[in-house]
Amino acid sequence: MRNKVFGKPVAAFTCGGSSSNTALLSIERIFPAFGMEKVVDGVAWGLREHGSPFEKDLSELKRLGETLAKAAVKRRTKVPEY
């Protein structure tokens, strides 16, 4: 599995009972073991504390997605070195 994800851009978000970032940090600690490249800080959203997100709250997640997508496109369009 490591060879399939090695060098790929990655980002994480969590959504749960609280906005604690413990789960997010646990996920992000796995990235180096698989050689994945973290391209943006993760987002932890707490439904119990904040309720359903409003449009203004979604902007952080949209930024995460856009940054990840740009990194994926950039990686895909790189010319391989021989």
For the chain, domain boundaries: 2-77
8 Å CB contact between 40 and 66:
no
Give dist(CA 16, CA 12) in Å, integer: 13
**Quick one: pLDDT at residue 79?**
56
8 Å CB contact between 41 and 10:
no
Give dist(CA 31, CA 9) in Å, integer: 10
Per-residue confidence band for 8, with pLDDT thresholds at 50, 70 and 90 = very high
* pLDDT one-digit tens code per residue, 13-60: 998 877 678 999 999 999 999 999 999 999 988 776 667 777 877 898
What lies within 8 Å, CB to CB, of 49 at 6+ separation is 17, 18, 19
**Quick one: pLDDT at residue 30?**
96
The reported pTM is: 0.80
State the residue for tokens 């970032």.
21
Give dist(CA 61, CA 65) in Å, integer: 6
**Quick one: pLDDT at residue 58?**
86
